[in-house]
Amino acid sequence: MVPVDTFRDFIVATLTQNIENRIRKLPKPSNAAQALQPLFEAVSNSMYAIEDLLGTDVAKGKISIRVKSLSDSDKIEIVVADTGIGLDASRYDAFCEVDTDFKRVKGGKGVGRLFWLDAFKSIVVESVYDDPTGRFRRGFSFVLEHEDQVKPTRADELATGLSTGTTITFCGIRTKEYADTFPKRADTFLRYFSAHFISDFLLGVGPTIIVDLEGDITTFPNAVAELTVGSPLETGHFELKDFGTLSIVGFTCKAEASTGLDGKHQLHLLANGRTVETRKVDGLLGVTDLTRDAKNDLVFHGCVSGEYLDLRVNEGRTAFNLPEKTLNEISRGCMEQVRTKLLPAQVSAYVEKRKENYQSFVTRYPTFGFDDDETQLQRVPFHATTAEDFAAGLVKYQIRREEERQRALQSLIDTLDLQDIPANFDKTVSDAARGIQSSEQLALAQHVVRRKLALELLEKLIKRLRSRKDKDDDHYLEKTLHSFICPMGIRGDDSTEVKNRAHELWIVDERLAFTRAFSSDKRLDAIMASGGSAERPDLLVWNLAYGLGVTEGDSVDTSEPLRTMMIVEFKRPGREDYKEADDQIEAQIVKYLGQLRGGELESFDRSRIRVADDCVFYCYVIADIVGDLKQQLSNWETTANGQGRIRPLKNQYRGSIEVIQWQDLVNDAWMRNRATLRAAGLSRSRPKLIEAPKVSEGEPEQVFDPAES
């Protein structure tokens, strides 16, 4: 038992607040929205004061906000005045109590005014209020000091003839964090202000707010109401698993309603009737056009309320005490309600359009069509509408599918090592074969589609060059045509060169689809180990047996001399003038052969490849046989189709020179592409025929229509 005298040592004490330290620990702003939070708190307090006075007639109340010297953080002055109930005795006592629970029923945490002290140098409050003995006025300064933060500026006095309400004057930004992030422009200020209170303005649950920015007046909610189209849309109450009962009121608005916000469509998460967080939901809504008529650029704003959110807001009402994952789950669940209950017609139209986009995507990229359309669309995000969106969503399923097939095949291979083969082994093998065939068909289809686009572009280039004749940009277009088939000024065996893999040499010869054994528009003296001139063959391929290329680390066998080579020259489509001596086709080719035959090529890794004396040279000139060239080739043999010309090399040279018309080159590539379709069992229709330009006497040549591939 403690002796009675001992109690003299115990002193009764009350915990005290260190306000300066408390302010120092408040979160500092990192953007304009957070910098405006102290002002938002003042406006919210004014809204509550009007609600306390007018109840359901809150729309009759008024708040005025006057801003001067917005761009000068030292001289800025913001005055917030309301027609609310005023700071009567109980409300004044609550103001003077840190962490008061006076407004707990409305979600207030009692710390909003602490943000004022953190943000502003000077805060003066004037308030008119009623008490049982009459109407009075009080005034005080609110200062950041260790003690006596509330300093009266006048004794309470009668205020006969004055209306109740409170006026707060904020002057000067106190800290660098607020000065750096506080809006300096009037339009920026208005964007963030309207964005923060947009749910109040949309729902029409607040008083009239008049913002005077350096004399420019904006009135809310009128300014926002003018942006709404049609009537509000309501889901009513619904249950969201783990989050209780929620409700959504939605609005279709003009695009300006989302000015200053991230994204077009917005979901406003409310706590106790006030916006706490606004989230972009473009991807969750998916719908791009909210109208059923000709109006465009409309956006959706939804206001979400519920007890779950009311109970989980932080003390400054600036954020929810919830992880991002939870907020995402709430947003997804709410937007599902929006799609099914509020915007079913628009969503239905969007779903149909999305399906069309997906089908177009699969047409261009067949390898992603490995399952039916509905299954694939369920695998991608609802907002997916572009090729990149679809590919990003499906690639993991594509990889899993191939991995499963690989495992199944390996299991099948392992079965062959067993002593006892299962009874259904033949069916397993058949299923595996069908799986392989299906996969290869998709890959071939994509291969064909890519080549189709390449050939369409090639035809457009040829047509443009023919139509341009001798215009100034002929030279550049001619280089473009060459570079499209094969980039200029490169060697294919240069492992450091990325461009050498971007060629379309399959158009010239299918064996060259993956070749690296070539040079394009390179001087002969840069290709040969010794000798050689400044002549530049458009394309020199020095090993057709190397047509499929080699893998990293492999090398070309240089022990045997080259016995076949290919030389290709590209002449501008539509060219008619070949009057100069250097324009003689055979003479130009023989100049190259004279340097190559019996010489040595030097590969990029410095190894040497000898060109055999009996090397066979396949020389091709791609041109339109018109004008001077037609006369020059008049004594040459015609090719099998009657359109090209060919002549064998004579004397010490073996091989031939063949002049191929541009259209024949393209037609042959189209036919090979269609043959691939048929071989893969993918062809759906017979090719239509279109007329090609007349390139010789007689009937116009028939060529394949690219649209049919």
pLDDT tops 70 at residue 476: no
Average pLDDT over residues 294-310: 85
Residues 200 and 253 placed together within one structural domain of the fold: no
- Where is the domain boundary, 290, 312, 342? 342
Q: Do the domain assignments include residue 357? A: no
Residue scoring higher pLDDT (422 or 349): 349
Tracing tokens 């397993």 back to the chain, one arrives at 428
Q: Cβ-count burial of 112 within 10 angstroms (0-12 exposed, 13-18 middle, 19+ buried)?
A: buried
- Of 211-215, 449-453, 499-503, give the range with the top mean pLDDT: 211-215
DSSP string for 599-665: -EEE-TTS-EEEEEEEEEEEEEEEE---THHHHHTTTSEE-TTSSSEEEE--TT-EEEEEEEEHHHH
Distance from C-alpha of 598 to C-alpha of 603, rounded to nearest angstrom: 16
- Where is the domain boundary, 289, 308, 342? 342
Residues 524 and 597 placed together within one structural domain of the fold: yes
pLDDT tops 90 at residue 483: no
Q: Do the domain assignments include residue 702? A: no
Residue scoring higher pLDDT (689 or 83): 83
pLDDT tops 80 at residue 215: yes
Q: What 3-state DSSP class applies to 427?
A: helix
Residues 233 and 158 placed together within one structural domain of the fold: no
pLDDT tops 70 at residue 319: yes
Q: How many helical (H) and strand (E) elements, i.e. helices and strands, does the chain have?
A: 21, 24
Q: Do the domain assignments include residue 437? A: no
Domain hosting 89: range is 19-219
pLDDT tops 80 at residue 684: no
Q: Do the domain assignments include residue 55? A: yes
pLDDT tops 90 at residue 255: no
The per-residue pLDDT for range 125-141, each reduced to its tens digit, is: 999 999 999 999 999 99
Residues 545 and 663 placed together within one structural domain of the fold: yes
User: Could you give the C-alpha distances from 188 to 119, 250, 263, in angstroms and in order?
Assistant: 18, 25, 16
Count of structural domains within the chain: 4
Q: Do the domain assignments include residue 4? A: no
Tracing tokens 């990293």 back to the chain, one arrives at 552
Q: Which residues contact 88 (CB under 8 A, 6 or more apart)?
A: 129, 130, 131
The pLDDT of residue 293: 45
pLDDT tops 70 at residue 213: yes
Q: Do the domain assignments include residue 413? A: yes
Confidence of residue 707 (pLDDT cuts 50, 70, 90): very low
Q: Do the domain assignments include residue 335? A: yes
Q: CATH code at 324?
A: 3.30.230
Which has the minimum average pLDDT: 388-402, 534-548, 599-613?
534-548
Confidence of residue 115 (pLDDT cuts 50, 70, 90): very high
Q: CATH code at 65?
A: 3.30.565.10
Closest CA to 116 of 66, 173, 71: 173
Average pLDDT over residues 153-162: 88
Confidence of residue 428 (pLDDT cuts 50, 70, 90): low
Mean pLDDT of the chain: 82
Residues 24 and 140 placed together within one structural domain of the fold: yes
HSE-up of residue 681 (Cα within 13 Å, Cβ side): 7
**Residue 251 · residue 224 · CB < 8 Å:** no
The pLDDT of residue 65: 97
The pLDDT of residue 160: 86
Residues 508 and 579 placed together within one structural domain of the fold: yes
- Where is the domain boundary, 219, 253, 287? 219
pLDDT tops 70 at residue 692: no
The pLDDT of residue 405: 73
pLDDT tops 60 at residue 631: yes
- Pure H helices in 469-517: 474-485
**Residue 264 · residue 285 · CB < 8 Å:** no
Distance from C-alpha of 372 to C-alpha of 62, rounded to nearest angstrom: 59
> Cα angle at 76 between 72 and 81, to 5 degrees?
155
Average pLDDT over residues 523-533: 90
Residues 170 and 236 placed together within one structural domain of the fold: no
Distance from C-alpha of 235 to C-alpha of 341, rounded to nearest angstrom: 6
Residues 331 and 480 placed together within one structural domain of the fold: no
pLDDT tops 60 at residue 15: no
pLDDT tops 70 at residue 642: yes
Average pLDDT over residues 606-611: 86
Residues 59 and 160 placed together within one structural domain of the fold: yes
The per-residue pLDDT for range 331-378, each reduced to its tens digit, is: 999 999 999 999 998 888 888 999 999 998 887 787 788 888 999 999
The per-residue pLDDT for range 574-590, each reduced to its tens digit, is: 888 898 877 899 999 99
Q: Do the domain assignments include residue 125? A: yes
Residues 492 and 623 placed together within one structural domain of the fold: yes
The neighbouring-strand residues paired with 300 are 252
Distance from C-alpha of 496 to C-alpha of 498, rounded to nearest angstrom: 6
Average pLDDT over residues 638-643: 91
The pLDDT of residue 99: 60
Which has the minimum average pLDDT: 322-331, 449-458, 658-667?
449-458
Residues 319 and 237 placed together within one structural domain of the fold: yes
